[in-house]
Amino acid sequence: MKLQLYVQQVNGALEETSQSVLSSLPRVLRDTQLLQQEALALREKMVAVKQEIEKVEKDTASSMATLERIDKIKTDLQIAKQGLHEADNWSILANDVEEVFESGDIEAIANKLFSMQKSLAMLVNVIDYEDKKLQLEGLKNRLEAIASPKLVQAFTAANLEQSKIYVDIFSKMERLPQLLKYYHNCLKVSLGQEWRRTIELAQDENVSYWLHTYYDKLLSNWNDQVKWCYQVFPSTSVDVIIEIYADLLRSLDPGIPECIEALLKQHTNAMQLSLLLELKQITRHFAVNLQGAIETSSHGKSQTPKLLALAQAIYAPYVPYVTKYNIYETAQLEYQLQSIDSVQDDLSDTINNLSLSLSRVMEYANEANKRCKLFTDGCGYPSVLKSLTRYFNKYLDKYQVAIRQLEHKKVKHEDWNLFQMCLTLMQTIGDLLGQIQQFEKSLIIDITEANNKLQSTSGSVFNQYKKLLLHTSSQNELENLIASFQKEEETILDPIIKSIHKLCSDLHRATYEVIFAPIFTQLLSVQKAPAWSTEINKMTHLSADLPDYSFAPQEYITQVGQYLMTLPQHLEPFLLRENPSLTQALKAADPQYAQSSTESGFTGILLEIIAKETCQMFLDQTLGICQLSSAACKQLATDIEYILQITLVMY
């Protein structure tokens, strides 16, 4: 019942809503028609406005074009008027300029020329512009000629006020570069005279004193000139002085290279490198101080090419000596080597002296490395390596002399004293080999560090020593050296190490001959032994029926055996402690020492070599026996058994 009631209520509401909508539709339609009419009217008005705007724009463009044309005509008329005025002004100035020149008043002349210069700037389009320009340049030249004596006087006297006046004049005339040339020449001449005065006042001194004194004056003058120039040439002051110093150092009279050469001629070759080192250190000290002064003055803003030119001028006197560094270092090392008196008439004295000289020889080599760093800043390593190679070869010649002395002392019988000297010399050579290999490692480290510094581009140009001290060919030589050991093609002292290896081999052969000489002498008598000689074989008491134990080794073989058994005790002094030097020398002499892993070390290898050679010679000698009786065969077997027992003990 309630549901039907709700349905009726809903239906009633829907009917009322429908009636309301139907009654409002005519009014909505009328409103829509009104809106359409208003929209059409608005559209027509917008079209009309657009047409009016287009018409205004067209009329305005025509007016603007007319105005621009009128303005251009006005401007041309003004320029023409100004040109006529400046032409008249130029004529007046040109007529008056001679009178001003006759007055000699430099400032008045400058003002007149400056006015003419401004007038000329307005006459660029006139027909005779180039003629007028040439006329003005000629007048400027005349003014410069008149002003130059007073200008030079002002610069020489460091007259600040007068110098500023001339800077202003030349700046207005657009001739400041010419003015800077005057200043350049004035300061260069002044400092050049100071160099000659330094030499004249200290004629009894040498170039070392002159350089030290003059460099101090240049440093002092730098600070004074920078202060003065900042007031006169504020924009270019430091760069100007850098250029002057670079030019000055290359044009001193007498030149620094000539002074150095004259000093070197007064001393022996051995002393020359020490003098060059002293001079280079003085110059280096000056370069470091000047670099600091420049950085302080310019706040790090100086142009690198100009700084490089200055640095090259400072170090230029040493470039020829770095190029010939090999000559000076070789002379120094050979002089030091001559002071080592190693070779004596007595072999033992020679060996002892060689042992004692080793520390000095390596000390001199290390000093050569230090000199190379100091004098060439690492640039001279190709040269110093040549010098060191020659130096070590000459030192190795002393060992060759010792080996020849040893050869002359060899005898056919046992000589334990000579044997001991052989091993002592071998030990010394092994020590030399070890120290040279260690020196080579330190040398490679130093060369690598020096090359890293030379290759660095982050530092000052004053540290770019490859550019400062080397010609292009020398730079290539240094780069090739670095590349060679970086590729590990060969060690830098490889020729020396190979020479020492050969020395070890020669001495090892001589030592072997000394040890083997008594064995050799005894084994030569194998074929003449009593047991199988023809006469003895005929004797009946040598019966083949005797048992084997009745045969005893013959004297020749027992002599060999006894000698072999005494060898270890003569090697014992070298075994009391580890002997790496002797071991290293033996490994260099014969590959067998390097390949063996026996507990007895080099002693076992040496005894093994002797034992093998003994057996080989014994075999060769026995093969030369023509015939053997039965008893002789038993005797030979006994001898063989004996020597085998001895050699087995030695192995």
User: Which candidate, 441, 274, 271, places its Cα nearest to that of 374?
Assistant: 274
Rounded (10°) CA dihedral 157, 161, 166, 172: 160
Cα 312-315-318 angle, rounded to 5 deg: 130
pLDDT band at 541 (very low <50, low <70, confident <90, very high): very low
Cα torsion 104, 108, 114, 115 to 10°: value is: -120
Q: Please, which residues have CB within 8 angstroms of residue 391's CB and are 6 or more apart in sequence?
A: 330, 333, 334, 337, 364, 365, 368
> Could you tell me how far CA 249 lies from the centroid of its own chain?
25
For residues 600 and 608, give the distance between their C-alpha atoms in angstroms, rounded to a whole number.
Answer: 11
Handedness of CA 4, 6, 7, 11 (dihedral sign): positive
Locate tokens 């002293």: which residue? 278
Amino acid letter for position 405: Q
Output 546 or 430, whichever has higher pLDDT.
Answer: 430
pTM: 0.75
Sequence-ordered list of residues with C-beta below 8 angstroms from that of 228, at least 6 positions apart, any chain = 158, 160
Indicate the range of 168-182, 205-219, 534-548 predicted with least confidence: 534-548
Helix axes 269-298, 304-315, angle to 10 degrees: 160
Report the greatest alpha carbon distance in the chain: 175
The residues, ordered by sequence, that sit 6+ positions from 405 with a Cβ below 8 Å of its Cβ are 347, 350
Closest residue by Cα to residue 183 from 222, 237, 121: 237
Q: Would you state the pLDDT for residue 539?
A: 45
C-alpha separations of 446 from 87, 366, 378 in Å: 75, 11, 8
Look at residue 21 in the predicted model and tell me its pLDDT: 66
Q: Which residue has the higher pLDDT, 171 or 378?
A: 378
204 SS3 class: coil
Asked whether the beta carbons of 246 and 310 are under 8 A apart, the reply is: yes
In order of 192, 200, 209, 218, 220, the CA distances from 214 in angstroms are 10, 12, 8, 6, 10
pLDDT tens-place string over residues 115-165: 666 666 665 566 666 666 676 677 777 767 777 788 888 888 888 888 888
Beta-carbon contacts of residue 573 (< 8 Å; ≥ 6 apart): 420
Q: What token pair was written down for 390?
A: 């020659």
Q: Cα dist. 395→431, 443, 487, 501 in Å?
A: 14, 19, 29, 14
* Percentage above 90 pLDDT, the chain: 32
Total length of the chain: 651
* Of the candidates 422, 409, 431, the residue with the CA atom closest to the CA atom of residue 356: 431
Please report, for residues 325, 340, 416, 420, 565, the alpha-carbon distance to residue 330 in angstroms, rounded to integers and kept in the order given: 8, 16, 40, 35, 50
Q: Rounded CA gap, 545 and 263, in Å?
A: 97
Confidence (pLDDT) at 113: 66
Write 288-294 long-range contacts (CB < 8 A, 24+).
288/462, 289/219, 290/218, 290/219, 290/222, 290/245, 290/314, 291/460, 291/462, 293/219, 293/222, 293/223, 293/226, 294/222, 294/238, 294/242
More confident residue, 120 or 213: 213
> Is residue 290 exposed (0-12), middle (13-18) or buried (19+ Cβ within 10 Å)?
buried
User: HSE (CB half, 13 Å, CA atoms) of 250?
Assistant: 13
Alpha helix stretches (DSSP H) within 157-255: 160-172, 176-201, 207-232, 237-250
Q: Which amino acid is at 406?
A: L
Residue in 219, 172, 171, 213 with CA at minimum distance from that of residue 196:
213
**pLDDT tens readout for residues 53-84:** 777 777 676 667 766 776 676 655 555 555 54
Question: Which of the given ranges, 280-294, 551-565, 635-649, has the highest pLDDT on average?
Answer: 280-294
pLDDT tens digit sequence for 464-505: 999 999 988 888 888 888 888 777 766 889 999 999 999 999
| Radius of gyration for the alpha carbons in the chain, expressed in angstroms and rounded | 53
Give first-to-last CA distance, the chain, whole Å. 135
pLDDT higher than threshold 90 for residue 171 = no
Q: From CA 210, how far away is CA 216, in angstroms rounded? A: 10
pLDDT digits (tens, 9 = 90+) for 288-322: 999 999 888 877 666 678 899 999 999 999 999 99
- Using pLDDT thresholds of 50, 70 and 90, give the confidence band for residue 645: confident
* CB 570 within 8 Å of CB 420: yes
